[in-house]
Chains A and B, each alone.
Chain A
Amino acid sequence: MADLSALRSKNRLYYVLLALGGLVVLGGAYAVHMMEHYGHVISGMNNQVVWGMPHVFAIFLIVAASGVLNVASIGSVFGKAMYKARAPLASLLSIAMLSGGLAVLMLDLGRPDRLVVAATNYNLTSVFAWNVVLYSGMFSLVVVYLWTMMERRMNPFNKAAGLAVFVWRFVLTTGTGLIFAFLTARQAYGSALLPPMFIVLSFAWGLAVFHVVQLAIYTWNEKALDPAIMERKKKLLGVFVVGSLYMVATYHMTNLYFAHQTGFERFILLDGGVYPNLFWWGYIVLGNLLPLLLIFVPALSGNKSVLAASLLVILGGFALLYVFIIGGQAYPLNIFPGYEASSSFADGQISAYVPSLYEFLLGFGGLAIAFIITTVSVRVLNFMPQDKPYIAD
């Protein structure tokens, strides 16, 4: 009967986790209600920094939602059995994070009640409008993909669905990068490097999230993950982290080369206060160097190291997005090149931004939505990776 009591306590733990997630979602709903009632004046955002903390959360979730599908693609498109066993879990995480991210993005709108306007009026030249199609398309495609994996009769269509998802998510992350790449007037953005940079970042962030969830599921089910599998997937994370570091470095190096961009780079990398600190300590040291040590130093092998490395990569992702999105807006827009400017509207000045509690509540609400979708789905459906004895292929 000892087994039964263990089961009961686990059952209780499941409901406690759900309740905690629900509480955080409620916090997000409260923030939305307050912002709806009082307006965005209660957020830290203003007319200079128009996108704030909610966008950091939303973009992280959406980019990671695309990247986590890498696991599925390596299985379905490139036929690696070890990854194929993990494709359902990766797809679930993608749907969960996409839901959370989109919820945050939508609920931060000035008029979230006009969602139907966004759904019925498409401006074909707007990257945002493209993204409405890309996000909803990805959602449906991944659902179909999951169906082809989990329903035996649909299995023959699995490869085709996997390929479609593979192509779609590349286009989707390109679209996310383009939101910024098309902002030609802003020093921080307007670079063709951004879409590929976001794609490589998505690989690292998505896989990091996958590692965390996978380890949690194995621990919950008291199963041990084959160390050989862990080893390979850990190294893959290392490769993605190095790749994303390369893209971020290239983005800043090209900016440093353009004389008219050196002021902005100086601000982000050297004397911009919170931004250089977050970039060097948050993104470079905690988000890249430390995870790389944890991954590649043989003495540090083990599940705990992988978990720590993955959590750090996620943390680094948030730090990078904060610097990119908010630092990019805080630096003054250069309306008169060659002139110093000042005005009542913060021309020529670094804009101040302090995120408010409501923004965090909304952002964590999005994370909690992703958490609840994952937790419930993993409980009621079979998302546990089913490995055959591992043979390197």
Chain B
Amino acid sequence: MSEIDSQRRQFLKTSAGAAAIAIAPGMMLFQTARGDTQAASSKVRWGMLIDTAQCKEGCNDCVNACNRENGLSGKTGPTDSQWIRKIEIKDVSSGRELSLPMMCQHCEHPPCVDVCPTNASFKRADGIVLVDRHRCIGCRYCMMACPYKARSFVHEPLQDQNPDVPRGKGTVEACSLCVHRIDKGQIPACAEACQNKAILFGDLNDANSEIAKKIRSVASVQIRADLQLNTGVRYQGL
């Protein structure tokens, strides 16, 4: 073997080694960042059953928990984001009063997804309706289309975001059913925070789940059921 050949071989070896050392940490970071790569399953349909009899007027625990979990300011001005809110309603004919939480209803046929020009609004395989903040152009058509006023537009620059819940000025956002918690096997922050257990979270498709059993046994309704959106959030005692 000539001297030039061995030099070339040495050079190639060194280069390959250097390249491996340069790339390896990046690959590891990439793996870490991607986390659990298991995709959402279409066999699951996440949903909630809200027992209005257990929901207390004046109690805001679910709202506060949501704000904390998702890094919202908690302010309630006309331009502030509210992912979940308490609504007090009164039957006009009977005078019966109720208090209940209202948030994205995670429809099976979500109007927001239908109208979104860029597919930024989308429904995950497990029924969670989300906004891709990288694709949202901020046209607010979904806010016009949502029958529940579930969505908010980010009107101001944001600080101190929760790393699990990226948000962005100029884009639309809404209840994500705490998707980052669900993917870790936890339940949404509002359901966890409710002291009266008024919010029952679970898999509507699993016949043995507590929520599916309860929906079979008690009368529950979908809000604006006339629109036939098949919401994932159901209300009991309405």
Contact = CB atoms under 8 A, between A and B. Distances in A.
Contacts of B144: 50-51, 183, 186, 189, 329
A338 B92 contact: yes
A260 B119 CA distance: 33
A118 B89 contact: no
A47 B138 contact: no
B79 A41 contact: yes
B171 A352 contact: no
Contact of A110 (B76, B114, B154, B157): B154
A9 B108 CA distance: 67
B88 A109 contact: no
A46 B79 contact: yes
Nearest to B100: A336
A341 B156 contact: no
B71 interface: no
Contacts of B89: 336, 339-342
A122 interface: yes
Nearest to A120: B118
Contacts of A128: 115-117, 139, 141
Contacts of A340: 89-90, 92
Contacts of B138: 109-111, 114
Contact of B155 (A46, A118, A126, A343): A46
A367 B197 CA distance: 56
B145 interface: yes
B119 to A, nearest CB: 5
Interface in B130-175: 135-141, 143-149, 151-157, 168-172
A262 interface: no
A127 B115 contact: yes
Indicate the size class of the contact surface on chain A. 35 or more
A343 B86 contact: yes
Interface string A31-75: 000000011110000111011000000000000000000000000
Given A41-B79, A110-B172, A344-B85, A47 B152 contact: yes
B81 interface: yes
A184 interface: yes
Interface of B: 76, 78-82, 85-93, 102, 111, 113-120, 135-141, 143-149, 151-157, 168-172, 223-224, 227
17 contacts: A48-B149, A50-B140, A51-B140, A110-B171, A111-B171, A121-B118, A121-B135, A122-B118, A123-B117, A128-B116, A184-B147, A335-B223, A336-B89, A340-B92, A342-B89, A343-B86, A345-B85
Interchain residue pairs A-B with the least CB separation, the first 10: A110-B138, A110-B170, A185-B147, A46-B78, A128-B117, A41-B155, A344-B76, A50-B140, A339-B89, A129-B117
Interface of A: 38-41, 46-48, 50-51, 109-112, 114-115, 117-118, 121-123, 125-129, 132, 179, 182-186, 189, 329, 333, 335-347, 351-352
